[in-house]
Amino acid sequence: MAITSIIPIPEKVDKGKQDLKKTIEENPVAISTASKDGKPNIAVAAYVKIKDGRIVITDNYMKKTIENIKENRKISLAVWNKEWKGWKIEGEADYFTEGDWMDFCKAIPENKNEACRGALVVTPLDTREIG
């Protein structure tokens, strides 16, 4: 398994990172968090975007995920394409209910008829290829 740094994911990237960006933006992403006492939670997001080197996930229905992030910023993501090439991403998350990140989420066309309660913004710290 290759280890690839994606801090940040630039707008123009080499082929491997471009594949990662495309895979993230075109496939569901599994989101793993844990409470401060270590109780795990997993969720999935269908509409995930890359902006300014960060992974942006709209909080439409992620109550437990957001509770966990408020207690423990550590997060893991997993994403793969239809050919089963994928990545595990570890990072730290911040949560916004107003401001530029929230405005960005509200402007995502797929969110037009969704709740759009907040923006979960992940700063990638480590990425490993899987599959």
Domain containing residue 101: CATH number = 2.30.110.10
**Per-residue model confidence (pLDDT) at position 1:** 37
**Per-residue model confidence (pLDDT) at position 115:** 86
The answer to whether residue 50 is domain-embedded is yes
| pLDDT tens, per residue, the chain with 131 residues | 333 444 444 444 445 566 889 999 999 999 999 999 999 999 999 889 999 999 999 998 899 999 999 999 999 999 999 998 899 999 999 999 999 999 999 999 998 888 899 999 999 999 998 87
The answer to whether residue 2 is domain-embedded is no
Put the strands of the sheet holding 40-45 in their side by side order.
40-45, 29-34, 74-80, 86-96, 118-130, 54-59, 48-51
Q: Number of structural domains, the chain? A: 1
The answer to whether residue 105 is domain-embedded is yes
Domain span at residue 20?
A: 15-130
**Per-residue model confidence (pLDDT) at position 12:** 42
The 3 state secondary structure assigned to 72-115 is CCEEEEEEECCCCCEEEEEEEEEEECCCHHHHHHHHCHHHCCCC
